[in-house]
Structure 1
Amino acid sequence: MKDERASTRVALLGLGAMGLPMATWLAQHFEVDVYDPDPSRIELAAKAGVHPADTAAAACRHADVAVISVRTADQMQHVLFGAGEVQGIAQALRPGAAVVMTSTVGADAVRHAAEELRPFSIGLVDAPVSGGSVRAASGDLLVMVGASREHLEVTRPVLDLLGSTVYVVGSEPGDGQTMKTVNQLLCGVHTAAAAEALALAHSLGLDLERCLQILQSGAAASFMLADRGPRMIAQLRSEPVELRSRTDVMAKDMGIVQGLCQTSGVLSPVAEAAYGKFRAAVRAGMAEQDDSSITIMQAPITTPTGGPSPDDATPT
């Protein structure tokens, strides 16, 4: 049942791994209009009680808040401002409405988009989320917000439903992206480390479910290990894996991490190594697979007879 007190009408653009569960959750509380270029995703959303639209602009005609959930900065620009004969949502939203950007696209891209929206009298709330698709489906995300007080007030009912934890980290668009980039450094490194640990356990013949249980009971525990671990185990056994977080998305995020580290003059060899793993997976044709697929790229290291011992080996 929708909250009778909630008069805000929401449009959600992008029904991927995060957008679809966010839309279905919000539809329990608001009237929600959605659009995605993939008809199958719109069909899934419609079954959950949202209102499908033929275009992104059409989804926004009555919206107070437009939530964007896309993979890249280019996709964000296309949704906002269109291209050629395709109208963007900036032309469809009423003055005074606000856009909530939930994806990780980098601080510069969001700042630029906010400036481009000013002539339309539309605010941009920089609100990247973290927590995965399961938590998105129950409004249990972490939301990192960069926004003015004015635009935060317009979008607060939506933000408070998307996230169980909402941190306002700054007053300008881009501030949320900066915090999310730090978050993604750890997420990418933790995922890569979890893949290596479980690949090692598999090569040693350990019971993988038992191994995961033990690791999560001690100091080695992490959210990424708990979330990706079961899917990594399935990958190692060549079993089917549900797509929850695409490999190319993590590769893109880690590229943003590396760019910010270089700009800031911060050495990040661990993050760079993790970035390399995700890029290698993309090159190997795993871009659209779940990012747990990097587990199967961990080849066992063997020492030829008469060769150097592991302690004497020189890293390359």
Structure 2
Amino acid sequence: MDHERFKHWENHTTVDEFILLGYNEYPILLFIAFLVTYLAILLGNGLIVVVTTLDPALHTPMYFFLRNLSGLEMCYTSVTLPKMMVNLVSGDRSISLPACATQMFFMLFLGGTECFLLAVMAYDRYLAICLPLRYMTIISSGVRVGMVVTSFALSLPMQLLQIGLIFSLPFCGSNEIDHFFCDIPQVLRLACADLYANKLAVYIENVFFVVVPFLLIVTSYVHIARAIQRMPSATGRQKTFSTCSSHLTVVSLFYGSGMLVYLCPQTSDYVKFTKLFSLLYTVVVPLCNPLIYTLRNREVKAAFGKLFCKKQSMEVGAGVG
């Protein structure tokens, strides 16, 4: 029990709101940068959702999962960036406890869902490459919908429990969060109570949502690598690997930055870097996701080309009419 943390907490004023310190230098420049980035994330991922929905050639399991990932990225970024931009413009960095709890819940819920969805996408690639003859039978339309729904369903109850445990704690003394959103480590530092149950819950959640999906992804790609090595044609090996490279890039960015934030020891010297690492999985990954999947994927690029050509043809036809 951390007696030194809270033995005199009764003498302090109970906190009813937090202050998100975030980034406070050059607010106008940062606002413009984050606004452009946010619009690019919505546009890029939105286009992927539209293209993979409208083009019949992309009505395959892989692009079904990509469509859900892009939709998830738009929601995930919308939890933090709009609030950050409002803070930069208004100068008011306060956030009430209910708003902080809501923001944290959606960050954890959507982040946990993305961890499982990336694992599902790795399993999809494993089936397509290692069991091609049974692929469409195993991963039917009902199965892939069930996989996405399960990814959301697994995350929901655990995140509700996590939020309940955290925001049932008393908060006193300082109310400043040295971050741009309400994240677990920073909020727990302000609690005046025994944190054993909370630390245990965070540990279990990290194992369940980070370690387990990551091991499933690694296992899938170990089998994929073995299957690629057995292919007699160098061209075939290169083509097969190219279908996995986009997903591998996204996994590396998302899990790499997430593990740096949540699995590394939270020492005082390390905390200052968490804001930077958090930007990677909350902003950089959603921004890069459309670029990674379009620049490395001929089918998606071809679908974009058909969509824009069709739009131009309609505009020309309307002008002639």
TM-score by length of 2: 0.26
Larger radius of gyration: 2
Bigger RCO (CA 8 Å, 6+ sep) = 2
